[in-house]
Amino acid sequence: MRTFPGSALFLAFSLACTGETTTETSRIPEGPSFVKNGQDLSGLPDLIVDSRATQNNWVTRVENFPADFCSVIEGDVTPGIHKVIRFTVTTPNIGNADVFVGDPQVHIDANDGLFELASCHAHYHFQHYAEYRLIEPTTGTVWKSAKQGFCMLDTDPYNVGTGDGTWNYRSCGSTDHPGFQGISDGWADTYVFTLGGQYFVLDGGDGQPVVPPGTYIIQVEVNPAYAPDGQGNCPRVKDQLTGLCHQFAESNYANNFGQATVVITDHPGRSGYGPLKNSPNNVKQADEIEHRGR
pLDDT digits (tens, 9 = 90+) for 197-225: 899 999 999 999 999 999 999 999 999 99
DSSP 281: G
What is the residue extent of each domain of the chain? 5-18+37-271
Cα–Cα distance measured from residue 224 to residue 209, given in angstroms and rounded to the nearest whole number: 24
Asked if residues 144 and 133 have their Cβ atoms less than 8 Å apart, the reply is yes
* Helix H or strand E segment including 61: strand 58-65
pLDDT tens by residue, 121-176: 677 888 889 999 999 999 999 999 878 778 899 999 996 555 566 889 998 888 88
Cα–Cα distance measured from residue 39 to residue 41, given in angstroms and rounded to the nearest whole number: 6
Contacts of 4 (CB under 8 A, 6+ apart): 156, 190
Cα–Cα distance measured from residue 9 to residue 61, given in angstroms and rounded to the nearest whole number: 14
pLDDT of 286: 43
pLDDT band per the 50, 70, 90 thresholds, residue 75: confident
Radius of gyration over every alpha carbon of the chain, rounded to an integer in angstroms: 19
pLDDT of 279: 33
* Helix H or strand E segment including 219: strand 214-222
pLDDT of 125: 83
Cα–Cα distance measured from residue 122 to residue 95, given in angstroms and rounded to the nearest whole number: 32
Q: How many CB atoms lie within 10 A of CB 37?
A: 11
Contacts of 106 (CB under 8 A, 6+ apart): none
pLDDT of 176: 85
Select from 58, 202, 86 the least CA-distant residue to 141.
Answer: 202
pLDDT of 261: 94
Q: Mean pLDDT of all residues in the chain?
A: 79
pLDDT at 24 over 50: no
Considering the entire predicted model, what is its pTM?
A: 0.80
Handedness of CA 117, 119, 120, 122 (dihedral sign): positive
pLDDT tens by residue, 219-248: 999 999 999 999 999 989 999 999 999 999
Pairing status of strand 115-118 against strand 123-126: antiparallel
pLDDT of 169: 94
Q: Which has more pLDDT, 10 or 249?
A: 249
Contacts of 155 (CB under 8 A, 6+ apart): 2, 27, 29, 187, 188, 189, 190
Pairing status of strand 58-65 against strand 284-285: parallel
pLDDT of 161: 53
pLDDT of 265: 86
Amino acid letter, 286: A
pLDDT of 70: 84
Percent pLDDT > 90 in the chain is 56
pLDDT tens by residue, 277-291: 333 333 444 444 444
pLDDT band per the 50, 70, 90 thresholds, residue 38: confident
Opening angle at CA 168, ends 167 and 174, nearest 5: 130
pLDDT of 113: 84
Cα–Cα distance measured from residue 188 to residue 180, given in angstroms and rounded to the nearest whole number: 15
Asked if residues 221 and 130 have their Cβ atoms less than 8 Å apart, the reply is yes
pLDDT of 106: 93
Handedness of CA 247, 171, 289, 152 (dihedral sign): positive
